[in-house]
Chain A
């Protein structure tokens, strides 16, 4: 634990960040968010982040290895709470996360991405499968044994309003990990917390303030400071920027990027925003109804998606380019209907009920997640009829003709 050196090694002078900007309006709260000067410095950062990222992506040992992970939430009925069914939120998910990389996890609401994140940190007890973290299976460790592991594995939550205790000061919130884990800090907890605040671009003098005195972006920074307190190896970020305004979102994304380079962090980045996920991830896994349907290196996934669902998902992203509006709308794959219920998922391939390529085999046989059409081993798709490059996907359907 050496916060001093950590803070000093950040490309821009952290103290520069905390200078009170010349804006009289927003009062004290604004002074902390003054990420301004640093951003200007970072733009001219001599080492492009892309290069660092490629260096990082050299595959070593997986830090986290998940096999057949399952979470079925029971549905009970009656006085005796007899189990009558289960919500199969996560239903057999297998993937590895390598040291220093960012794995993006995308999917629509209800696909199980958040549950997966919570399973990885054991905030939710898995009903099946294994989670191997740093060479040790933590899927069924007892709380007492789990606690030391928590130092290495932390989580950033989506909502910066509900994830910070409103009755605790920033100092208490960010210092909590030290107290809980009984970690001794060289110059005391207060100093360590102030260094952390500096690190994430907040004013260390705001140590005694309460969360309500900060804006959404600043609160998210407080959450990030708390996450970093024990210098974890792995950070699970569950929609860390989706509650923030666009301009603030970019500040936080850049902060996460810098921290990763600085501390050699590994991220699992859970989000529904495909553009943000592409920006930050090295590899991306697409989830649908509790399963991974496609996983690949970022560029591969975005340039030659194989699974029809991935194609539909990507074509649905609105393109901020009015000149291409007509083309984008014409080429858009409009999925009909809604995601089926995870209580009673479709047989075989789960996407078949909304897929335009589905045939008889899709209902009978579940497609395994393997490389298709001569893809590299890292690009795996769970589909019987993967999309070939240049294939014309059956595009739009009239809106007024929904699924029966």
Chain B
């Protein structure tokens, strides 16, 4: 770990001024990611996960978004960099797979045209060479008869095919950082399985760093080495995938796990949902942002409502939690109160 990490985000803050007040979508987020590793960012809508990914790619309009902090990508700082510098990196060194391939592809241009364009922005080659490259890429993501399908339009592809084409477009310049924002949410399970498998294999092949943003804990468990749980624009828990799923320490993470029926376990009588609603980002609750929905808040002795907890090292090294409860107490609650409820019957 002594070496420079490939991607390092330090105290990233992204907010949007609106008539109703300042929307703090991301409020002091820090993480690092090595090449060949996958980070899963989990959270509900409005937790700031997509805003983070757009921030890394520098896709926020400076006129209506305030971005501060540092983003280091392979030794280069992006937040303060000139727009041209970021533009040269975007697509080449870092690329994104969007959620909805139908709305993120241009309906007037053929799939091939769009991939060729993406390639030629960063490579000075003839159209013929770029086209060969595009066909090769489509073949690699599992599109049958790529030489013929390259001239098809997005509407002629099925949902799964479009997502594959989207991945081909993202990978055409061989990016070292790939951000996938809800890559399979719009897809059916069987197609989702194909796409997850494809992403897994491609990552091994290209040895790229991958950030998967999703609300689906199942998808995270399939792909991620490390998991970052976001709530109200902040990281509230960070750890290896195994720790997050087997020994989670934040009450919100417990809530997420309890809200989700699991096909691999005996059926629960009742789900254990998180009460209430996600917070408004304009006016976060005082103290711990999760306290109005937290069942264990009374046990913090009033700290929860007054003081924002820091992200501190929890039960094991590298595992970070933002919670007022003492570590031992959290582990005891998980072991004795929460876990049995999730596994019972």
Contacts and interface: CB of A to CB of B under 8 A. Distances in A.
Interface of A: 21-27, 29-30, 33-37, 39-40, 42-43, 45, 48-50, 108-109, 215, 217, 245-251, 253-254, 257, 272, 274-276, 278-279, 298-299, 302, 312-325, 328-329, 332, 334-335, 338, 396, 399-404
A287 B270 CA distance: 26
Contacts of B295: 40
Given A246-B44, A247-B255, 12 more contacts: A25-B292, A26-B277, A39-B275, A108-B191, A313-B190, A318-B221, A321-B264, A325-B222, A338-B191, A400-B140, A400-B142, A402-B143
B265 to A, nearest CB: 9
Q: What are the 5 A-B residue pairs with the smallest beta carbon separation, nearest first?
A: A36-B275, A318-B218, A250-B273, A23-B292, A250-B259
A322 B144 contact: no
Contacts of A272: 188-189
Contacts of A30: 276-277
Contact of A34 (B198, B276, B284): B276
B41 to A, nearest CB: 14
Nearest to B273: A250
Most buried by A among B193, B200, B274: B193
A234 B158 CA distance: 35
A257 B270 contact: yes
Interface of B: 44-45, 139-144, 158-161, 188-194, 196-198, 200-201, 215-222, 224, 241-242, 245-246, 255-264, 267-280, 282-286, 292-293, 295, 305, 341, 345
A356 B140 CA distance: 23
A321 B218 CA distance: 7
A302 B271 contact: no
Most buried by B among A25, A26, A43, A316: A25
A315 B197 CA distance: 13
Given A334-B197, A399-B142, A325 B221 contact: yes
Most buried by B among A35, A247, A257, A334: A247
A177 B278 CA distance: 32
B221 A279 contact: no
Main SS at interface, chain A: helix
A276 B279 CA distance: 25
A248 B273 CA distance: 7
B222 A278 contact: no
Given A25-B279, A34-B275, A302 B263 contact: yes
Contacts of A324: 264
A399 B198 contact: yes
Contacts of A43: 270, 272, 341
A338 B161 contact: yes
Contacts of B224: 322
A317 B189 contact: yes
B267 A279 contact: yes
A35 B276 contact: yes
Given A24-B283, A250-B259, A399-B194, A279 B268 contact: yes
Given A23-B292, A36-B276, A40-B295, A320 B221 contact: yes
A24 B279 CA distance: 10
Contacts of B242: 322-323
B8 to A, nearest CB: 24
A339 to B, nearest CB: 8
Contact of A254 (B193, B215, B270): B270
Contacts of B142: 399-402
Nearest to B243: A322
10 contacts: A35-B273, A42-B270, A48-B269, A109-B159, A248-B273, A250-B259, A316-B193, A320-B218, A321-B221, A402-B142
A253 B44 CA distance: 17
A197 to B, nearest CB: 17
Nearest to B261: A279
Given A35-B275, A272-B189, A319 B263 contact: yes
Contacts of B260: 246, 250, 275, 320
B277 A320 contact: no
Contacts of A249: 259, 273
Contacts of B190: 108, 312-313, 316, 334-335
